[in-house]
């Protein structure tokens, strides 16, 4: 069992170790500081309300673990304006929960007044870079802090794209001052779905911007003679993703790494064991650097 | 890269994508084809790739309603629920990046479809489940002690108001919706409920370990509803059908359930103090 030490109080920085997502089946164990993981992440939108069991569990867990808030609903790259009400609720959650990291996605999500509640891909164009960077700056100004932007998993590539995915993200970082959340599973999904060169992505992404990594599982769908990977966060991290993660850590050094498991959530021990594997990769990297 | 055949501006691209994801499936098929023209064709049909997003959006919307309306879903069956949700989405697409709100119009939408049919009770059941959703996420205030009431002089008692938990929800129905709700919890068998049980009046009470749903006598339900609207004890008694000899029992229930958060005097302007967020539906 963990102590509620001062380094783990609300607002404490997230160490370069592995964390897990806080999910309702594990509320009680995590709230009392049982699992030996370094930090927690939750979806920002689940904490927009003033009460409820989720909020009460997180308030308790904050005494034991640093926290990251991961948003899924802003649709930063939507051509339509940001939903200011949604952004205000994000700020309220940030002010209340004092996370060490706040993140969102390099996606769009609403048009014509309708929200699709999905992470929809942007074309990698100058126009999209400028729009996304402008929106990230607006959010950072409103929140009074830097945010991280996560690379997406995608099921198609736009013929309009003129940049590689890493060039696109690097340009957004340069123009907005945001950090990056590198989802290694999304890299692998895109390598199968779109032919992305994942190794090149890891070699080219602006290393100093990467402040968090996500690891997750995916589902493999067979369509005709082709596989299409669906990023469902419903299984263990696969061998190929672990291999890419090792490559990423070799280049970036240890980075706070989340085991992201949102569907068919397993026993807490399974999540902790996955986190331990990520910690082992980072420990080896430290030993090599020593 | 080779020069693509179709390079729309970002606004046009998102408009095409949005149209392909829309709830009107007959029309979105055409839009899906238009979007497919903007997608790299590497041997896997672009329409099949677009279909992944269409499936995701539909499943996410349905999943949000399934989490809010599990009892109704169990009663009508998974397939019929999915069909209802698809129709509902056409009338009430998501207007927020926060999925919580997707189901807020479902009870009134169900009422518009079911009133006058043998399934009118489903709309009231939806109303009860939405009340549960609101109650669960409301802030909880520290309960007040009944001692405050006991210390009041008898002449002050009549003019006293009671502040109630913001999460309290009151749902009245001509149908036995409380019994249906009880019979369809995850650990219940889902037995059919006898409609002749008739009207039920439900208080949804948030607690430390989740929600507790009480089926109240109509007189007590009316009394609590009046209190929730800011009436004094005397006004609430007068306006409800609660016999004065049952007042002590009703108050004991309110305090015992942790529902009273404040014992106080009525507002100076004489207006009823209406608590924000109390969604009381009267007996029908």
- pLDDT at residue B8 in the model: 81
Two tokens at A158? 């736009």
Residue B4 domain-assigned (yes or no): no
Q: Give A 229-288 residues with CB within 8 A of chain B.
A: 230
Distance, CA of B130 to chain centre: 1
A89: distance to nearest CA of chain B, Å?
Answer: 10
pLDDT tens for residues A128-185? 999 999 999 999 999 999 999 999 999 999 999 999 999 999 999 999 999 999 999 9
Residue A219 in contact with partner chain B when CB distance is under 8 A = no
Residue closest to A90 by CA, chosen among A48, A27, A62: A48
What does the pLDDT average to over A213-225? 93
Residue B274 and residue B222 share a domain = yes
Give a yes or no: residue B219 inside a domain. Answer: yes
Of B137, B161, B185, at which residue does a domain stop? B137
- The B residues from 68 to 127 touching A (CB cutoff 8 Å) are 93-100, 102
Residue B5 resides in a domain: no
Cα gap A168→A131, rounded to integer Å: 12
Neighbours of A7 (CB within 10 A): 10
- Measured between beta carbons, the chain B residues lying within 8 angstroms of A194 are 40, 42
Whether residue A21 is contained in a domain is answered as: yes
Tell me how crowded residue A136 is: count the other CB atoms within 10 A of its CB: 25
Strand order in B210-216's β-sheet? Answer: B169-173, B200-207, B210-216
- Domain contains A65: yes
Query: How many domains does chain A contain in total?
Result: 1
CB-CB contact of A218 with A185 (8 Å): yes
Quick check: B123 and B69 in contact, CB under 8 A?
no
Of the two residues A5 and A45, the one the predictor is more confident about is A45
The C-alpha atoms of residue B76 and residue B98 are separated, in whole angstroms, by 26
In this structure, the answer to whether residues B128 and B168 fall within a common structural domain is: no
Average pLDDT over all residues of chain A: 94
Residues in chain B predicted with pLDDT less than 70, given as ranges, are 1-7, 23-29, 265-284
Last residue of a domain, one of B137, B157, B182: B137
How many Å separate Cα B21 from the centre of its chain? 26
Distance from CA of B234 to the nearest CA of A (A): 32
Distance from CA of B31 to the nearest CA of A (A): 14
Q: Check whether residue B117 and residue B255 sit in a common domain.
A: no
CA distance A113 to chain B (A): 6
Q: Is residue A1 part of a domain?
A: no
**Within-domain flag for B108:** yes
Is the residue at B251 inside a domain? yes
The 10s digit of each residue's pLDDT in A84-140 is 999 999 999 999 999 999 999 999 999 999 999 999 999 999 999 999 999 999 999
Reply yes or no on whether the pLDDT at A33 is more than 90: no
DSSP type of residue A100: S
* Residue whose pair of structure tokens reads 């090599």 in the numeric block: A288
Q: Are B34 and B151 contained in the same domain?
A: no
Which pLDDT value is given to residue A142? 98
**Cα–Cα distance measured from residue A259 to residue A232, given in angstroms and rounded to the nearest whole number:** 13
| Residue B146 and residue B78 share a domain | no
pLDDT at residue B6, rounded to an integer: 56
Domain assignment present for B24: yes
B70 within 8 A of A126, measured Cβ to Cβ: no
CATH (domain of A101): 3.20.20.150
Does residue B155 share a domain with residue B116?
no
Taking Cα atoms as reference points, which of A246, A152, A151, A158 lies closest to residue A206?
Answer: A151
The answer to the question of residue B122 being in a domain is yes
The verdict on B196 and B231 lying in the same domain is yes
Torsion sign across C-alpha atoms B195, B197, B198, B202: negative
SS3 content of chain B, % helix, strand, coil (to 5): 50, 10, 35
Domain span including residue B191: 138-284
Last residue of a domain, one of B88, B106, B137: B137
Looking at the domain assignment, is residue A92 inside a domain?
yes
Identity of the residue in A49, A114, A223 whose CB atom sits nearest the CB atom of B18:
A114
Which region among A53-57, A66-70, A275-279, B83-87 has the lowest average model confidence (pLDDT)? A53-57
For residue A266, tell me if it sits in a domain. Answer: yes
Taking an 8 Å cut-off on Cβ atoms, the answer to whether B39 and A115 are in contact is: no
Q: What is the pTM of this model?
A: 0.91
Residue B224 lies in a domain: yes
B92, two tokens: 């009430």
Query: Nearest CA to A205 among A190, A183, A189, A185?
Result: A183
Report the percent of chain A where pLDDT is more than 90: 86
Res B24: pLDDT: 67
Distance CA A155, CA A192 (A): 10
B145 and B81 in a common domain: no
Give a yes or no: residue A80 inside a domain.
yes
Examine the domain organization and report whether B61 and B172 are in the same domain: no
Rounded Cα distance, B43 and B36, in Å = 13
pLDDT value, residue B265: 66
Are B179 and B210 in the same domain? Answer: yes
Query: What ranges make up the beta strands (E) of chain B?
Result: 161-164, 169-173, 200-207, 210-216, 260-264
Asked if B80 and B193 sit in the same domain, the reply is no
Domain range for A155 = 6-289
The sign of the CA dihedral B76, B82, B83, B84 is positive
Whether residues B204 and B223 fall in one domain: yes
Other Cβ atoms less than 10 A from the Cβ of B182: the count is 15
**Which of A23-37, A225-239, B265-279 bottoms out in mean pLDDT, i.e. has the lowest?**
B265-279
pLDDT for B125 equals 98
Gap between the Cα atoms of B35 and B38, Å rounded: 5
Count of domains for chain B: 2
């Amino acid at each position: 069992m963990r102590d509620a030490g001062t380094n783990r109080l609300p607002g404490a920085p997230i160490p370069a170790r592995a964390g897990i997502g806080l999910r309702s089946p594990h509320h009680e164990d995590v709230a009392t500081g049982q699992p030996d993981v370094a930090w927690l992440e939750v979806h920002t939108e689940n904490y927009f309300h003033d009460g409820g069991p989720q909020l009460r569990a997180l308030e308790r867990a904050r005494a034991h673990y640093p926290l990251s808030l991961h948003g899924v609903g802003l649709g930063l790259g939507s051509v339509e304006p940001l939903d200011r009400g949604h952004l205000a609720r994000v700020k309220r959650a940030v002010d209340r929960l004092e996370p060490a990291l706040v993140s969102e996605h390099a996606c769009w999500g609403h048009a014509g007044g309708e929200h699709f509640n999905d992470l929809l891909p942007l074309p990698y164009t100058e126009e999209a870079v400028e729009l996304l960077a402008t929106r990230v700056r607006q959010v950072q100004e409103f929140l009074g802090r830097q945010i991280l932007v996560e690379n997406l998993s995608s099921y198609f590539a736009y013929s309009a794209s003129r940049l590689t995915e890493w060039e696109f993200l690097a340009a957004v970082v340069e123009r907005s001052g945001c950090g990056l959340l590198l989802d290694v599973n999304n890299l692998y999904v895109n390598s199968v779905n779109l032919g992305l060169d994942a190794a090149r992505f890891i070699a080219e992404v602006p290393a100093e911007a990467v402040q968090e990594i996500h690891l997750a599982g995916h589902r493999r769908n067979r369509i005709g003679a082709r596989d299409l990977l669906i990023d469902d966060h419903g299984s263990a991290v696969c061998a190929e993703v672990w291999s890419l993660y090792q490559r990423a850590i070799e280049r970036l050094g240890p980075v706070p790494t989340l085991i992201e498991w949102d569907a068919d959530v397993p026993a807490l021990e399974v999540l902790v064991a996955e986190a331990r594997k990520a910690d082992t990769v980072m420990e080896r990297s430290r030993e090599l650097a020593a | 890269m080779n020069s693509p055949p179709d390079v729309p501006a970002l606004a046009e691209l998102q408009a095409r994508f949005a149209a392909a994801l829309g709830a009107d499936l007959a029309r979105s098929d055409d839009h899906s084809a238009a979007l497919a023209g903007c997608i790299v064709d590497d041997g896997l049909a672009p329409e099949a790739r677009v279909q992944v997003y269409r499936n995701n959006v539909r499943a996410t919307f349905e999943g949000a309603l399934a989490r809010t309306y599990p009892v109704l879903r169990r009663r009508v069956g998974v397939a019929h629920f999915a069909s209802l949700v698809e129709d509902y989405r056409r009338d009430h697409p998501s207007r927020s990046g926060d999925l919580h709100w997707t189901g807020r119009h479902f009870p009134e939408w169900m009422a518009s479809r079911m009133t006058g049919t043998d399934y009118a009770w489903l709309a009231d059941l939806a109303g009860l489940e939405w009340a549960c959703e609101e109650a669960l996420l409301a802030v909880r205030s520290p309960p007040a002690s009944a001692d405050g009431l006991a210390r009041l002089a008898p002449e002050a008692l009549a003019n006293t108001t009671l502040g109630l938990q913001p999460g309290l929800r009151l749902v009245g129905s001509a149908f036995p919706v409380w019994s249906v709700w009880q019979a369809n919890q995850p650990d219940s068998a889902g037995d059919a409920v006898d409609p002749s049980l008739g009207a039920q009046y439900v208080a949804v009470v948030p607690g430390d370990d989740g929600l507790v749903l009480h089926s109240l006598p109509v007189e007590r339900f009316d009394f609590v509803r009046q209190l929730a609207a800011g009436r004094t004890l005397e006004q609430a008694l007068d306006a409800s059908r609660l016999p004065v000899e049952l007042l002590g029992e009703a108050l004991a229930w309110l305090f015992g359930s942790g529902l009273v958060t404040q014992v106080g005097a009525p507002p100076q302007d004489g207006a009823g103090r209406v608590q924000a967020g109390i969604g009381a539906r009267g007996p029908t």
